[in-house]
């Protein structure tokens, strides 16, 4: 049985107002007085719970809908998401249940060719070419694109075309029924008012009050729980993207909202949907807490989300969507544990998630959603194995993921998402090849990935995310060329990437990610120029990067990521000043970077990456210090490194840190010599 009567597919860029108004009228037109709505209409802004995996949720809603209403416009025709939704609908349902509302552009049926007249600026997605056996009925809503009052009689009449088709009754009958329902509701309202005057019997009256109060309490609890889940989700997203707010205040607000959510969930019986939305809100909260650097609280929220999904599955173990949600929660637990340096826990969580999606994929090999999830999980497990130094196992997982991605992309070459998966898998394979010294094969993988991203970006030049992916792929190519000694080729790739980052940032100055991308690119350019002996050029690039990093960190002092980026830039500037003989300038930069990393390590003592950063900064300070200061900071660094080594927390590249720090200490003059 279908869960939704209709699914609304539209361009979010321009058609949100009209989509909302149309949904409101279609789902309430002709409804009985005692029901909230006559039809259930899916629109992602109102129906879709917060989810870390958007397309699978949309795909599920499409599969559970009887009709699809397309808001046709040039923007919708150019939207990859709308095209993907229509493609799915045509494959699974056919064009007979597809209804069209024109919100912009021109539509004209060509009887000679038996299709719409296709031309530039066509408001229909290309996938609909030749799919109609005869001219379909479509409704002109262009006059209401900016929004409509659901009480507008003309708009209601137009919307009735869709509601009547979905109900399967003539439009005139539906509108007559609407009038009858309104009159009946009015009569019932007056009748109820009169009847109340005639009610007698204290017992009967008390019984009704009790029932009303119970129903009202249950509805209020459900509404409050839904609101709390939404509050958690929205606050988490807002604070993650908001600059300039004190970290402690943000954490306190999130904690109080989380406690409200927990109390509401435990105060009475809640539906499975509410519990699931609670779990998804908790995962988003966990992401924001991790962004704040609070790994302990992030892990607590993630574990609570997993517990909820486990309880839901215990009551319905055959629900594949919930099993998938559980796998997503396990992946996020792995992500948090990875950030905390818990390699064993990370791998365990990822592998448990992988086992779930392997089962889903094996049970339904033709289900692209499960295959894509399997590929994504293989990458996560590969990442964890690479962290543990097991490059062979990591490469095996990445190559299995690559094989899945190639198969999906070959089966549906026009699907941008599968092309993205293929590009990501190629990058992962390239990363391991590069790490093992196979520069040639790394470059082959990176350049294939770059070609995919260039093709996607060329097909949708206005898509900023595609442009950024080209920028990321160019960085990968530059890294491989730099490792192979091709400094000229590396610099060309990095500078092309930098040009893209500058263009994106200029188009959206408030986007901090674009600003950070410029800073990272400048660091890459500085690295190549330094390797080529161009110290002045390297220092100029590093100092421009530092200025950007400082601006981001000042605007959002509670953002641990921005603070760490600032410390990296300070170390780079310190390196170049030391190389040019400016020892005091180098020491000033190193010490400022060290102060930042001390603060980050103290704020999150369980975060192994923060401890490793502290070791590195102490080491850097020693290179520009006098012997007494150098000895003090090296001893501190050695103590931390040895503690990490005892707990098996050092990565493969860091395994020799204790030995190298001991050697650096041994090279210092004796302490007695310092005293003289």
Which of 236, 302, 229 has its CA nearest to residue 271? 229
Q: What is the C-alpha to C-alpha distance for residues 430 and 440, in angstroms, rounded to an integer?
A: 9
Helix, strand or coil, per DSSP, at residue 111: coil
Q: What is the C-alpha to C-alpha distance for residues 380 and 389, in angstroms, rounded to an integer?
A: 14
Instruction: State the alpha helices, DSSP H only, in 364-459.
Output: 368-387, 391-411, 416-435, 439-459
Q: What is the C-alpha to C-alpha distance for residues 395 and 390, in angstroms, rounded to an integer?
A: 9
Q: What is the pLDDT of residues 258-271, one digit of tens each?
A: 554 455 455 444 56
pLDDT value at residue 223: 44
Which of 293, 319, 175, 318 has its CA nearest to residue 239? 293
pLDDT value at residue 37: 66
CA 275, 316, 325 angle in degrees (round to 5)? 55
- Contact status, residue 476 vs residue 450, Cβ threshold 8 Å: yes
- Contact status, residue 254 vs residue 236, Cβ threshold 8 Å: yes
Q: What is the C-alpha to C-alpha distance for residues 270 and 212, in angstroms, rounded to an integer?
A: 18
- Domain, as residue range, for 177: 4-198
**Within-domain flag for 493:** no
Count of the separate structural domains present in the chain: 1
**Within-domain flag for 508:** no
**Within-domain flag for 96:** yes
**Within-domain flag for 667:** no
pLDDT value at residue 667: 93
Which of 9, 181, 5 has its CA nearest to residue 86? 9
Write the burial class of residue 64 (CB in 10 Å: 0-12 exposed, 13-18 middle, 19+ buried).
middle
pLDDT value at residue 401: 94
Which of 79, 82, 112 has its CA nearest to residue 8? 82
**Within-domain flag for 157:** yes
**Within-domain flag for 42:** yes
**Within-domain flag for 392:** no
pLDDT value at residue 153: 76
The enclosing domain of 96 has a CATH number of 3.40.50.10140
Helix, strand or coil, per DSSP, at residue 619: helix
pLDDT value at residue 354: 95
- The list of the chain residues with pLDDT below 50 reads 1, 33-34, 46-53, 178-179, 182-247, 249-250, 253-254, 257, 260-261, 264, 267-269, 675-676
Other Cβ atoms closer than 10 A to 663 = 10
pLDDT value at residue 484: 92
pLDDT value at residue 569: 95
| Residue spans of beta strands (DSSP E) within 440-583 | none
Which of 482, 496, 410 has its CA nearest to residue 454? 496
188 alpha-carbon distance from chain centroid: 49
**Within-domain flag for 173:** yes
Number of H helices, E strands in the chain: 27, 7
Q: What is the C-alpha to C-alpha distance for residues 106 and 215, in angstroms, rounded to an integer?
A: 50
Helix, strand or coil, per DSSP, at residue 42: strand
Helix, strand or coil, per DSSP, at residue 142: helix
pLDDT value at residue 27: 85
pLDDT value at residue 207: 37
Phi, psi (deg, nearest 5) at residue 58: -65, -45
Q: What is the pLDDT of residues 118-160, one digit of tens each?
A: 777 789 988 888 888 888 878 999 888 877 776 677 888 888 8
């Amino acid at each position: 049985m279908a869960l939704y009567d209709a699914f609304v597919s539209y361009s979010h860029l321009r058609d949100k107002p009209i989509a909302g108004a149309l949904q409101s009228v279609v789902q309430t037109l002709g409804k009985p007085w005692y029901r909230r709505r006559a039809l259930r209409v899916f629109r992602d802004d109102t129906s879709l719970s917060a989810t870390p995996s958007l397309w699978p949720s949309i795909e599920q809603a499409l599969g559970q809908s009887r009709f699809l209403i397309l808001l046709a416009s040039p923007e919708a025709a150019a939207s990859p998401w709308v095209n993907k939704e229509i493609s799915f609908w045509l494959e699974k349902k056919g064009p007979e249940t597809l209804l069209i509302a024109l919100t912009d552009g021109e539509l004209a049926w060509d009887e000679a060719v038996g299709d719409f007249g296709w031309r530039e600026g066509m408001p229909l997605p290309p996938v609909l070419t030749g799919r109609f056996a005869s001219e379909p009925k479509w409704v002109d809503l262009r006059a209401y694109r900016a929004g409509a009052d659901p009480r507008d009689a003309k708009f209601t009449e137009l919307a009735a075309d869709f509601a009547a088709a979905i109900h399967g009754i003539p439009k005139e009958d539906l509108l007559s029924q609407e009038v009858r329902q309104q009159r009946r509701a009015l009569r019932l309202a007056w009748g109820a008012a009169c009847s109340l005057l005639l009610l007698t019997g204290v017992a009967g009256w008390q019984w009704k009050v009790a029932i009303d109060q119970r129903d009202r309490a249950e509805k209020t609890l459900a509404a409050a729980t839904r609101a709390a889940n939404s509050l958690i989700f929205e606050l988490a997203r807002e604070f993650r993207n908001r600059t300039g707010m004190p970290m402690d205040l943000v954490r306190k607000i999130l904690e109080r909202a989380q406690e409200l959510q927990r109390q509401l969930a435990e105060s009475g019986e809640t539906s499975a949907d509410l519990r699931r939305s609670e779990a998804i809100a908790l995962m988003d909260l966990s992401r924001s807490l991790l962004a704040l650097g609070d790994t302990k609280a992030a892990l607590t929220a993630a574990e609570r989300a997993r517990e909820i999904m486990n309880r839901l599955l215990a009551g319905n173990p055959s629900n594949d969507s919930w099993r998938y949600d559980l796998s997503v929660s396990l992946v996020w637990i792995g992500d948090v544990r990875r950030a905390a340096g818990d390699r064993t826990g990370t791998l365990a969580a990822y592998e448990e998630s992988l086992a779930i999606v392997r089962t889903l994929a094996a049970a339904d090999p033709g289900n692209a959603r499960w295959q894509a999830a399997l590929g994504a999980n293989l990458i996560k497990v590969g990442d964890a194995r690479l962290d543990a130094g097991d490059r062979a196992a990591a490469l095996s997982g990445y190559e299995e993921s690559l094989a899945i991605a190639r198969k999906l992309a070959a089966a549906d070459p026009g699907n941008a998402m599968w092309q993205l998966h293929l590009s990501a898998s190629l990058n992962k394979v390239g990363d391991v090849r590069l790490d093992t010294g196979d520069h040639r094969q790394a470059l082959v993988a990176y350049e294939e990935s770059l070609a995919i991203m260039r093709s996607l970006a060329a097909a949708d030049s206005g898509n900023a995310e595609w442009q950024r992916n080209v920028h990321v792929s160019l960085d990968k190519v530059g890294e491989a060329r730099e490792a192979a000694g091709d400094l000229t080729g590396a610099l060309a790739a990095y500078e092309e990437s930098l040009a893209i980052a500058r263009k994106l940032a200029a188009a959206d100055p408030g986007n901090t990610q674009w600003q950070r991308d410029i800073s990272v690119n400048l660091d890459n350019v500085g690295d190549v120029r330094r390797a080529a002996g161009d110290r002045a050029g390297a220092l100029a690039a590093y100092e421009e990067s530092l200025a950007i990093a400082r601006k981001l960190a000042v605007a959002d002092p509670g953002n641990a990521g921005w603070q760490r980026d600032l410390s990296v830039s300070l170390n780079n500037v310190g390196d170049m000043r030391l190389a040019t003989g400016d020892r005091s300038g180098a020491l000033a930069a190193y010490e400022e970077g060290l102060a930042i990393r001390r603060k980050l390590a103290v704020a999150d003592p369980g975060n192994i990456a923060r401890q490793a950063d502290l070791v590195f900064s102490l080491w850097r300070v020693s290179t520009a210090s006098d012997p007494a200061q150098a000895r003090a900071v090296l001893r501190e660094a050695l103590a931390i490194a040895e503690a990490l080594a005892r707990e098996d927390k050092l990565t493969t590249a860091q395994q020799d840190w204790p030995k190298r720090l001991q050697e650096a200490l041994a090279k210092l003059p004796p302490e007695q010599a310092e005293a003289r």
